[in-house]
Amino acid sequence: MLGMGNQQVSNVIRTGKPSYKVSVFSNYSGHIHESNSTGMGSNQPEAMQQLAVTTEELSVKEGMYVQKGQNIFAVYNPNRAWALLNIFTGQAAMVKVGNKVRITPETNPADDFRASISYIEPVYRSR
């Protein structure tokens, strides 16, 4: 149930001793960010959770105790991403749902990708 491999389980059964260090393996791939919810009972949708803009060290450390159902980190699929853009009022009429866009990461300009706009959140912010 914890994602332990067969060899790890067999070792516990064979020795009859508890394992105080357990490597947990996941079937998911992606990158991890600090979990913003305090447990499995969080009713905040994943899409609404704030992500750190910069890469930060996770607060969970080896040897820390965790509780059943506690979210430690969130895994984000790199194949589906959100780009948050500020569009000036004078240019807003040019941007529409369905428009094709090209996104070029500052950290790796050669690794640009194409996407389409699926949602525009209307927000007005005074200067």
Structure confidence by residue, pLDDT tens digits, 36-95: 654 333 443 444 444 444 556 777 787 888 888 888 888 877 777 777 778 888 888 899
Radius of gyration of the chain (CA): 21
pLDDT in tens, 101-113: 998 888 888 888 8
55 and 95 inside one domain: no
86 and 64 inside one domain: no
Q: Write the DSSP assignment of the chain as a string of letters.
A: -----HHHHHHHHHH----S------S--SEEEE--SSSTT--S-GGGS---SS----S--TT----TT---EEEE-TTS--------GGGGGG--TT-EEEE--TT-TTS-EEEE-----------
CB 99 within 8 A of CB 92: no
9 and 63 inside one domain: yes
pLDDT in tens, 14-41: 999 887 777 766 777 777 777 765 433 3
* Mean pLDDT computed over every residue of the chain: 75
Higher-pLDDT residue of 2 and 41 is 2
| Structural domain range at position 62 | 1-79
* pTM attached to this predicted model: 0.40
- Work out how many domains the chain is built from and give that number: 2
12 and 69 inside one domain: yes
54 and 92 inside one domain: no
72 and 108 inside one domain: no
